[in-house]
Structures are given as structure tokens and as C-alpha cells.
């Protein structure tokens, strides 16, 4: 709404301006200045009809009073007027006091001032008024103007905008910045009053006297508009918000004839008062007459003061650049540029300094290079000398290396023998003795067992020959040597003896087990000049005895653990039975319950004498009891710890028995047990009870590893003379790091497990000369072992294959 109105006002203002421009150009063009024609320019700031009428009547009056001249008015805009003045087209001018002050420098002088009358008093001053709606009680002073919009005619208007601007400035308020909005209508001042009435703006700026005139004419209802920031001036009855300034002036321009001006001045002062109003309406006491007449020129000091304060022409700020302003506005930039220059200069200085230094160091470098070349020559000579020394050293080292290599190869041999898994303990010992004998270049070696370490060692009768290598004829000599020369052998050290008479040499060392002498190792051979028993050889011998010692210890421990393991087998068997007890209770209870039901039913029928029915009942109860007996027999067979037997038995039947035993457990876990085999019976040799236990353990583990509703497959595959038994489950498999440990006793992944099951299984399988293997497959894991087929079966199967 405000926007469209604004636009409208702007448009109309433009049209006005255009119209005036056109008019003034028309006037200037159509009426060339005549000798007796006097042009009176009028600043077209006040556009009321009454204004025009008054100016017209004034010039008409002047034409009448000074008949030799014809006076014409030329209303123009500010710019048109300035143009016309510059071209000397005007002789007189009716304009605002501000315009007069601006023109004073070009010699314009006032010859009369407009007079107004109101309430019987004549005045030649006027002010400006700030108006708002009567009901806006919040608008009384400048306290809350920030939220208000203000409206004025034009920024060049003296009798309104400029006066109020000055007034606000005196109160410390900037009209441009301190309001919500500042708008210019460019129309008439009545429009401003109307805008306030329509609430297009909060505050309006108009000339003093306008309100009173509008009320008088009836175009404005009384008490609708109030004056804002009201002032009281003595002898000035009109409403005003500002100081008062001189009224409009009748001006003589510089080129105008002074005599004519004086004539005009006198004529104006004598002009009858209120020539307009006297014709239209009767003079009343309250009446306001804006065009009462003309009087003598007034003082323009207040107007000058205003123009100076607002920096308006002729007091507009000069465009001359002052040094202080320059500093104020561009200070920072100047300082920055200065700093930049200083930095640049400093860095140039620094670079030149560095350049000089560089030159110096270059010279020094050249000097150093020359020095270095000399030094290098000297050094090369020294190095060649050192090189010769080194070459000699290398030769010495090579011989040492040869010895080392020899001992390394023998050590490698030691290692291979000791690590070889396919040799038995005694085989390893023999190989070791042979290797050492060849390495030490001896004829024969003997290993004696020391029967009683606490007795005197000098009696060879306590020594028992355990093992030997090489020529056995040397033994006599060896025994003799030890007896005669080593009466008090020191256990820890190698005893070396060389006899030049019989041309023999001998090395011996005591082997200790549990820090007790246990074995005696003796090497004997012919004395050969070039053979040497080096330090390395000594260490080798020490190492060898240590190995033999620890091997003996290990053997003893293995024997112990074998016994322990067979005992454990019994213990686990009992544990397994305990774990199955609750399952078995149910298994046995079922047929027993059924039998009880049948028999008591029979007893009841006995009274009714129904023999046929009783027979059925008794038969069925017998079936149930037989089932219970089967279960118990299974259990007994399982618990019995028989002496390991090797007998021929049917593997399929055995496995089926085990699966029967486990069926309740499988049902609880909702696991299916499948036996996959092509043959209905496979006879194998072994201990049936032990094999059943292995299968039971493996299948139980598989059931526990399976998720519910999984299945466990047991498959039998005949491979030549053996049958391979595989137990597969569908579960999470075994983790790689656990693979190693699962066969160890007391290792278990189950919270209640003893960790004995797999250890026992392995020992049983190994007792049947097979290996228990475990693998992860893509679904879970599988355990495998092999059993030998019974001889008859083996032949039979092969015969079938051949056929």
C-alpha cells in the first residue's frame, strides 16, 4: 500500500516537474524580453493556487503603479530559475529566504518581505510544523522516534524539511538516520497532511499556517491532527514546531536597474494589504491570511545560521582536499604502504649482505677442496697398507672357518637325528654315536651304564656296556686305560688320555641324569699326528652327553605318563557315566513305566478272566522290560574296564550300540545322528570296548559342538587293509590356536569339561597303531582315525574287488 502510494506520488512529482520544465521553456521561448517587459521569477516551491494568485495580483499591481513597465511572473523550479538568472532573463525574483542567501554572493538583494496576518497580527516570519495523528499519544518528544516514519515534500524545501532538519539537529537527532523511514512526496503540502490522516506515515513536516488554513477552508476536520514538539513564540499565534525564520522575499537581481528596484520597493510597501482576502471573504479576528502584503526586507541572520548548520549553499563544504581529512580517511592505507616500503628496503639490504657472505664462503670452499685432494692421496696410501694386512687376516680366518664348518655340519647332523620323528630312541642313540666317532676320527666308541653311582667308579664290573660303534676290539684297551689313569674321574670334565707307547688316545665324559652319574661315554682311537681334539670338539662332546642325558630323562617321564594316562582312562569313563546318568534315568524309566502299566492292567483284568488280553499285556510288558535290560547292558559294557584285547568285532554293530546309548542325549539337543556306510558289517581287529569309547567321546563332542537341529555324520570308508572312521559335525569348528592344544589332557572348551576325553581317545587310537587326526572343514570340524580290517574280511573284500 505504502509502496504503491509512494510510486504514485513519485510519478505525479515527475509529471509536475516535467510540466513546469515545459512551461518555463515555453514562456522563455514564446515571449522574448522586450524593453518594457520586466520578468519576475517565482520559485515554484509553494504550489497553492492562492500563492499563484497573490504573485499575479502583485505583478498586476506593479504594472499598474509603474506603467512604463509591464511586469510578468514566471513560476519556475529551482534549476530553471538558476538557468534563467545566469542568462539574465530575470530582473526580479520572488523566492525563499534560503534561496536569497544563496544568491547574495551574486549581488541579489531583498527589497521586500512577504507579510502574513493572523488573529489581527501581521508577521513577516514563519516556521515549520511536525504533525501526527491526534490519537498518537506516544508522540510528544523525540524519545521514541526510532520506530516512526517521517514524511516531507522535498529535501530542497526550505519552509518545511530544512527548518525541521535544523530543529532536530539542535536536539541531537539526525533526520536521515534516526527515523525508521524518511520519505519525500514531491507533491503539495496538503498531500502530507492527507498522508498523515491515512496513516501512510507517522510524522509529517509542513509549513506553519497550513493546518490553520485547511481547517478554515474545511478540508481538514479540527482536532484530527496534533502538532508535535510544539513551541510558543511571543506574538506568533500559529502552531509551529521550530524557530521562526524570515518570510519569502522579493528580490532584485544584480543586473537590474537600481532606480527601478527602488520604485518597485516603494510600490510594494504601499501595496494595499490583503488584496486577495478583501475580495473573497470578510476579515475576521481569528482569520489567517498568508498573503497579507509586503514589508521592508528583514534580517536574514537566522536563515544564514540554518544554512551554515546544514551545510547548504552557499555554505556547502568545499571540495578542497585538506590534509587532516586525508589522514582521517586514508590513514590506514598510507601506513600500510609505508610499512611495505620499509620492509622492501630492509630486505634488499639483507639480500645484498647475504650475497657478499656467499661470495666469501665460495672462496673458502675452493680452498678447502684443494686441501682435501691432498688428504685423499695420503689416505689412499694408508688404506692399501691396511688392505694387505687384512688379506693375511682373511687367510687365517679361512682356516678357522673350515674347522667351524666341520663342527657345524656335525651339529646339523646332531639336530637332524634328534629331531627325526621316525626313529626310535635307541636308533637315534646309535646314529649319534656313529656320527660323533667319525667326526672325532676315532676307531670306536662305547657307552656304559653306571649301575650304582654311589659306589666307587673304579671298578669296571659295575659298568654295563649299553651301546657301541666302530671296532669292538678296542674295548679292552679302553677299560684298561680308564682303570689305570682315571681313578678319580671328575664328572664334569672331559678326561683325555694319550698313550704314546701303545699308540692310543682316549676321551671320556660322564653323563649325568638328575645330577647323578648315569652313563659313561668313551671314545678311543689310534694316535694320529694331524688329528686334534679342539675346543669346539670338546663343546660338541659336552652337548652330546647333555642330549643323551635329557633323552634318558625324557624316556623315563614318558613311561610314567603312559601309566598315568591308562589310569585316567578309567577315571574319565566314570565321569562320562555320571554325565549320562540323568539321561539314562529317563531312558530306563520309560520302559519300566510301560511295564508297570501293562502288568497292573493285567492284574485288573485277571479278576475279569480275559486270558487273551492278559497275554497281550504280559507280552508287551516283557518287551518293555527287555528294552530296559538292553539299556542297562549297554551301560555295563561301557563301564567295564577290560584288559586291552585284540579281537575281531563288527564295527557297524559297535557304532550302532554307541549311537543307541547317545540317542537320548541327541534328542535333547535335537541333533540327528547318521551312520553312513555301504557295508552292513565291517569286521576289524582291536579292543571293541575301547573303540566304542573313542566313538562315544567323539560323537558326544560333536553333539555338544552342533547347534540345535544340526546333524552329526559318522562315515566308514574302506581303504585297502584299513577302514577309516570319520566323525563330522556342523558347528563353529576349532580355532587354529586351539588345534594344537585340544589333545592335551585337562584342556577343555566346555565349562564343566575335564579336558580328558580327547587325550584318552588319542592314546587309545595310538595304541591301535593309528593317529587321531582333526581338521576343520567348511561346515564344522571332523575327527578321523583308521582301524585294521580283520584278516578274513580283508581277503574277502580284495577277492570281491578282483572279481
Q: What are phi and psi of 224, to 5 degrees?
A: -95, -30
Residue 701: CB minimum distance to another protein, A: 22
Beta bridge partners of 204: 131, 151
Residue 579: CB minimum distance to another protein, A: 14
Among 350, 353, 405, 604, which residue sits at the site for another protein (rule: CB under 8 A)?
Answer: 604
Residue 714: CB minimum distance to another protein, A: 22
Q: Closest CB to another protein among 670 and 792?
A: 670
Among 31, 144, 459, 593, which residue sits at the site for another protein (rule: CB under 8 A)?
Answer: 593
Residue 629: CB minimum distance to another protein, A: 14
Residue 753: CB minimum distance to another protein, A: 22
Residue 586 touches another protein, criterion: CB under 8 A: yes
Residue 592 touches another protein, criterion: CB under 8 A: yes
Q: Closest CB to another protein among 555 and 674?
A: 674
Query: Which one of the spans 312-320, 461-469, 474-482, 623-631 is the region binding another protein (CB under 8 A)?
Result: 623-631
Nearest to 505 by CA among 530, 488, 523, 491: 523
Mask 532-571, x = binds another protein (CB under 8 A)? Answer: ----------------------------------------
The three-state (H, E, C) secondary structure of 351-370, written as one string: HHHHHHHHHHHHHHHHHHHH
Among 293, 549, 591, 731, which residue sits at the site for another protein (rule: CB under 8 A)?
Answer: 591
Residue 627 touches another protein, criterion: CB under 8 A: yes
Strand 773-776, strand 781-788: pairing: antiparallel
Among 623, 647, 738, 766, which residue sits at the site for another protein (rule: CB under 8 A)?
Answer: 623
Which positions ≥6 away from 262 have C-beta within 8 Å?
none
Query: Which one of the spans 106-114, 286-294, 394-402, 614-622 is the region binding another protein (CB under 8 A)?
Result: 614-622
Are 719 and 785 in contact by the 8 Å Cβ rule? The answer is: no
Residue 632 touches another protein, criterion: CB under 8 A: no
Query: Which one of the spans 25-33, 466-474, 525-533, 597-605 is the region binding another protein (CB under 8 A)?
Result: 597-605
Q: Closest CB to another protein among 197 and 594?
A: 594
Residue 591: CB minimum distance to another protein, A: 6
Residue 629 touches another protein, criterion: CB under 8 A: no
Among 601, 753, 755, 788, which residue sits at the site for another protein (rule: CB under 8 A)?
Answer: 601
Q: Closest CB to another protein among 709 and 771?
A: 709
Among 620, 634, 648, 722, which residue sits at the site for another protein (rule: CB under 8 A)?
Answer: 620
ω before 314 within 30° of 0 (cis)? yes
Q: Closest CB to another protein among 475 and 660?
A: 660
Q: Closest CB to another protein among 594 and 734?
A: 594
Residue 579 touches another protein, criterion: CB under 8 A: no
Mask 172-201, x = binds another protein (CB under 8 A)? Answer: ------------------------------
Binding to another protein (CB under 8 A) within 649-688 occurs at 667-668, 670
As a whole number of angstroms, the distance between CA 797 and CA 788 comes to: 13
Query: Which one of the spans 120-128, 198-206, 622-630, 786-794 is the region binding another protein (CB under 8 A)?
Result: 622-630
Q: Closest CB to another protein among 386 and 581?
A: 581
Residue 612: CB minimum distance to another protein, A: 13
Residue 661: CB minimum distance to another protein, A: 17
Query: Which one of the spans 286-294, 322-330, 590-598, 683-691 is the region binding another protein (CB under 8 A)?
Result: 590-598
Angle at the Cα of 386 from the Cα atoms of 380 and 390, rounded to 5 degrees = 135
Question: How many chain residues interact with another protein (CB under 8 A)?
Answer: 26
As a whole number of angstroms, the distance between CA 435 and CA 439 comes to: 6
Residue 707 touches another protein, criterion: CB under 8 A: no
Residue 597 touches another protein, criterion: CB under 8 A: yes
Query: Which one of the spans 413-421, 535-543, 592-600, 694-702 is the region binding another protein (CB under 8 A)?
Result: 592-600
As a whole number of angstroms, the distance between CA 297 and CA 246 comes to: 9
Strand 92-95, strand 37-43: pairing: parallel
* CB-count burial class (<10 Å; 0-12, 13-18, 19+) for 90: buried
Helix, strand or coil, per DSSP, at residue 298: coil
Helix, strand or coil, per DSSP, at residue 293: strand
Q: What are phi and psi of 726, to 5 degrees?
A: -125, 130
Among 596, 622, 639, 672, which residue sits at the site for another protein (rule: CB under 8 A)?
Answer: 596
Among 590, 641, 713, 749, which residue sits at the site for another protein (rule: CB under 8 A)?
Answer: 590
Nearest to 141 by CA among 242, 229, 232, 202: 229
Beta bridge partners of 714: 675, 727
Are 689 and 640 in contact by the 8 Å Cβ rule? The answer is: yes
Binding to another protein (CB under 8 A) within 69-108 occurs at none
Long-range contacts of 617-620 (CB under 8 A, 24+ apart): 620/594
Are 59 and 72 in contact by the 8 Å Cβ rule? The answer is: yes
Q: Closest CB to another protein among 219 and 626?
A: 626
As a whole number of angstroms, the distance between CA 98 and CA 78 comes to: 12
Q: Closest CB to another protein among 599 and 797?
A: 599
The three-state (H, E, C) secondary structure of 150-200, written as one string: EEECCCCCHHHHHHHHHHHHHCCCCCCCCCCEEEECCCCHHHHHHHHHCCC
Residue 624 touches another protein, criterion: CB under 8 A: yes
Are 588 and 631 in contact by the 8 Å Cβ rule? The answer is: yes
Q: Closest CB to another protein among 570 and 709?
A: 709
As a whole number of angstroms, the distance between CA 584 and CA 665 comes to: 9
Q: What is the distance of C-alpha 573 from the center of its chain?
A: 59
Q: What are phi and psi of 511, to 5 degrees?
A: -100, 135
Among 110, 189, 195, 621, which residue sits at the site for another protein (rule: CB under 8 A)?
Answer: 621
Nearest to 186 by CA among 15, 68, 27: 15
Which DSSP state fits 552?
H
Show the cell assigned to 166. Answer: 535544523
Are 280 and 217 in contact by the 8 Å Cβ rule? The answer is: no
Q: Closest CB to another protein among 376 and 581?
A: 581
Show the cell assigned to 110. Answer: 531583498
**Which positions touch another protein (CB under 8 A)?**
582, 585-586, 589-598, 600-601, 604-605, 617, 620-621, 623-624, 627, 667-668, 670
Amino acid at each position: 500500500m505504502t509502496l504503491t502510494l509512494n510510486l504514485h506520488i513519485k510519478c505525479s512529482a515527475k509529471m509536475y516537474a516535467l510540466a513546469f520544465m515545459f512551461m518555463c521553456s515555453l514562456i522563455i521561448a514564446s515571449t522574448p524580453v522586450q524593453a518594457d517587459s520586466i520578468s519576475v521569477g517565482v520559485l515554484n516551491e509553494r504550489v497553492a493556487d492562492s500563492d499563484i494568485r497573490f504573485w499575479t495580483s502583485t505583478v498586476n499591481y506593479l504594472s499598474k503603479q509603474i506603467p512604463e513597465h509591464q511586469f510578468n511572473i514566471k513560476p519556475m523550479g529551482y534549476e530553471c530559475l538558476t538557468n534563467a538568472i545566469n542568462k539574465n532573463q530575470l530582473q526580479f525574483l520572488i523566492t525563499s529566504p534560503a534561496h536569497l542567501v544563496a544568491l547574495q554572493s551574486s549581488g541579489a538583494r531583498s527589497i521586500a518581505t512577504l507579510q502574513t496576518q493572523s488573529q489581527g497580527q501581521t508577521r513577516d516570519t514563519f516556521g515549520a510544523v511536525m504533525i501526527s495523528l491526534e490519537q498518537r499519544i506516544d508522540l510528544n518528544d523525540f524519545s521514541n522516534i526510532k520506530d516512526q516514519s517521517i514524511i516531507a515534500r522535498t529535501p530542497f524545501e526550505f519552509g518545511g524539511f530544512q527548518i525541521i532538519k535544523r530543529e532536530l539537529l539542535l536536539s541531537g537527532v539526525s533526520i536521515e538516520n534516526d527515523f525508521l523511514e524518511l520519505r519525500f512526496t514531491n507533491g503539495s503540502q496538503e498531500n502530507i497532511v492527507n498522508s498523515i490522516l491515512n496513516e501512510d506515515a507517522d510524522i509529517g513536516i509542513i509549513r506553519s499556517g497550513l493546518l490553520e488554513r485547511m481547517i478554515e477552508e474545511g478540508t481538514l476536520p479540527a482536532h484530527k491532527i496534533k502538532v508535535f514538539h510544539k513551541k510558543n513564540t511571543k506574538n506568533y499565534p500559529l502552531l509551529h514546531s521550530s524557530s521562526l525564520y524570515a518570510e519569502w522575499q522579493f528580490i532584485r537581481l544584480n543586473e537590474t536597474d537600481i532606480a527601478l528596484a527602488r520604485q518597485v520597493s516603494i510600490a510594494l510597501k504601499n501595496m494595499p494589504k490583503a488584496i486577495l482576502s478583501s475580495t473573497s471573504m470578510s476579515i475576521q479576528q481569528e482569520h489567517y491570511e498568508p498573503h497579507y502584503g509586503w514589508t521592508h526586507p528583514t534580517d536574514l541572520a537566522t536563515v544564514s545560521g540554518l544554512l551554515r548548520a546544514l551545510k547548504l549553499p552557499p555554505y556547502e563544504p568545499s571540495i578542497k582536499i585538506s590534509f587532516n581529512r586525508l589522514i582521517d580517511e586514508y590513514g590506514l592505507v598510507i601506513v600500510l604502504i609505508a610499512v611495505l616500503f620499509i620492509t622492501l628496503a630492509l630486505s634488499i639490504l639483507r639480500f645484498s649482505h647475504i650475497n657478499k657472505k656467499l661470495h666469501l664462503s665460495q672462496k673458502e670452499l675452493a680452498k678447502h677442496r684443494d686441501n682435501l685432494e691432498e688428504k685423499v692421496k695420503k689416505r689412499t696410501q694408508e688404506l692399501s697398507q691396511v688392505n694387505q694386512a687384512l688379506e693375511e687376516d682373511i687367510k687365517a680366518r679361512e682356516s678357522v672357518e673350515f674347522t667351524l664348518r666341520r663342527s657345524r655340519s656335525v651339529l646339523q647332523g646332531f639336530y637332524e637325528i634328534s629331531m627325526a620323528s621316525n626313529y626310535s630312541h635307541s636308533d637315534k642313540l646309535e646314529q649319534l654315536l656313529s656320527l660323533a666317532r667319525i667326526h672325532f676320527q676315532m676307531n670306536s666308541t662305547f657307552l656304559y651304564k653306571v649301575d650304582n653311582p654311589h659306589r666307587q667308579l673304579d671298578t669296571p664290573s659295575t659298568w654295563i656296556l649299553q651301546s657301541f660303534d666302530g671296532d669292538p676290539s678296542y674295548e679292552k684297551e679302553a677299560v684298561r686305560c680308564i682303570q689305570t689313569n682315571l681313578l678319580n674321574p671328575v664328572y664334569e670334565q672331559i678326561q683325555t688320555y694319550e698313550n704314546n707307547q701303545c699308540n692310543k688316545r682316549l676321551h671320556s665324559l660322564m653323563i649325568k641324569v638328575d645330577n647323578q652319574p648315569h652313563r659313561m661315554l668313551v671314545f678311543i682311537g689310534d694316535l694320529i699326528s694331524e688329528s686334534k681334539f679342539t675346543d669346539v670338539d670338546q663343546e660338541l662332546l659336552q652337548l652330546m652327553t647333555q642330549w643323551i642325558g635329557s633323552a634318558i630323562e625324557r624316556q623315563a617321564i614318558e613311561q610314567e605318563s603312559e601309566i598315568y594316562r591308562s589310569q585316567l582312562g578309567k577315571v574319565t569313563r566314570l565321569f562320562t557315566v555320571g554325565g549320562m546318568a540323568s539321561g539314562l534315568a529317563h531312558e530306563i524309566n520309560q520302559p519300566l513305566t510301560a511295564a508297570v502299566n501293562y502288568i497292573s492292567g493285567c492284574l485288573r483284568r485277571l479278576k475279569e478272566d480275559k486270558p487273551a488280553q492278559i497275554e497281550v499285556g504280559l507280552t508287551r510288558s516283557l518287551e518293555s522290560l527287555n528294552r530296559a535290560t538292553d539299556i542297562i547292558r549297554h551301560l555295563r559294557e561301557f563301564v567295564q574296564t577290560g584288559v586291552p584285547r585284540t579281537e575281531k568285532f563288527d564295527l557297524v554293530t559297535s557304532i550302532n550300540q554307541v549311537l543307541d546309548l547317545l540317542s537320548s542325549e541327541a534328542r535333547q539337543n535335537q541333533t540327528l545322528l547318521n551312520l553312513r556306510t555301504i557295508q552292513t558289517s565291517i569286521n576289524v581287529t582291536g579292543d571293541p570296548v575301547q573303540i566304542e569309547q573313542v566313538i562315544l567321546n567323539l560323537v558326544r563332542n560333536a553333539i555338544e559342538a552342533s547347534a540345535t537341529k544340526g546333524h552329526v555324520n559318522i562315515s566308514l570308508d574302506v581303504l585297502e587293509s584299513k577302514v577309516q572312521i570319520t566323525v563330522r559335525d556342523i558347528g563353529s569348528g576349532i580355532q587354529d590356536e586351539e588345534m594344537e592344544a585340544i589333545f592335551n589332557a585337562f584342556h577343555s572348551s566346555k565349562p564343566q569339561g575335564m579336558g580328558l576325553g580327547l587325550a584318552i581317545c588319542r592314546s587309545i587310537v595310538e595304541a591301535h597303531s593309528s593317529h587321531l587326526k582333526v581338521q576343520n572343514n567348511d561346515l564344522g570340524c571332523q575327527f578321523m582315525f583308521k582301524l585294521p580290517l580283520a584278516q578274513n574280511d580283508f581277503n574277502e573284500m580284495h577277492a570281491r574287488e578282483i572279481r
